[in-house]
Amino acid sequence: CTYDNIIWSFGGDWYDKNYQPTVNSPAAIEALDYFKSLVPFAPPGVLTYDWDENAHAFAQGNAAMTIQWQNAAPTFYDPEKSKIVGKFEFTLIPGKRQSDGSIKRTPTFGGWSLEIPKDSKHKEAAWEFMVWASSPELDPRLAYSQPGSRFSGLLDPEMQAKYIEYPGMLASLPIAKGRPRIAAYSELADALEVAISEAMTGSKTSKKALDEANDKFGTILKKWGYLR
């Protein structure tokens, strides 16, 4: 997901409108080279971090900044887990400066959903719960552990004062982009993650890793019927 923020901000993408893989485009390679250039400025061992370790490093003051999901915020607020309480802010992700001086930023959009299994024996009760759980009255109460699902909660002055990530989230939403919504997503993501890891660890150049990933993308997209 972190690389998605970068590749999109650099003008690259996974594939074009016809599902032709573009993950080895010049923009994608430049994005991965840039991503790799940040490693020397990160804490030791960063290449093996998961999201929790990422949040812990920032909360302990071992990283000057980080890109994280909103649900990591409670860790930063908790004085038992964080050394930076009251010493940090949230803002838009970094981007790439354009020729006109503007900065192109493309945050990754993602979230959780409430769903009812088709074979559920309690569909009506489940629906009533979903309506209640996403209601304007309850939505703000969920904010501490998960982002709200309503703009009314994000725009509430009291909530913004309590959860300082809200203004940044509001600014991010209009320019955010969701991950590919296709059946082949998981396989494509696995192939891209391998390429990113190979480039970041130095076992392959960004170009070689992404060239191989692009070939895998073609095979995967053909298997799923997106390409002939």
- CA 160/CA 136 separation, integer angstroms: 16
Could you report the per-residue pLDDT of 145-169, keeping only the tens digit for each? 566 677 887 888 888 888 888 888 8
Could you report the per-residue pLDDT of 94-151, keeping only the tens digit for each? 999 999 999 999 999 877 788 999 999 999 999 999 998 888 777 666 655 566 677 8
Are residues 143 and 33 part of one domain?
Answer: no
Domain around 23: 2-106+176-223
Residues 177, 108: contact at Cβ < 8 Å?
yes
Burial classification of residue 71, based on how many CB atoms lie within 10 Å of its CB (0-12 exposed, 13-18 middle, 19 or more buried):
middle
Are residues 181 and 153 part of one domain?
Answer: no
**The residue to which tokens 């009760």 are assigned:** 125
Which element (helix H / strand E) includes 104?
A: strand 103-104
Are residues 147 and 61 part of one domain?
Answer: no
pLDDT interval class at 186 (50, 70, 90):
very high
Are residues 142 and 207 part of one domain?
Answer: no
| Residue 56 domain flag | yes
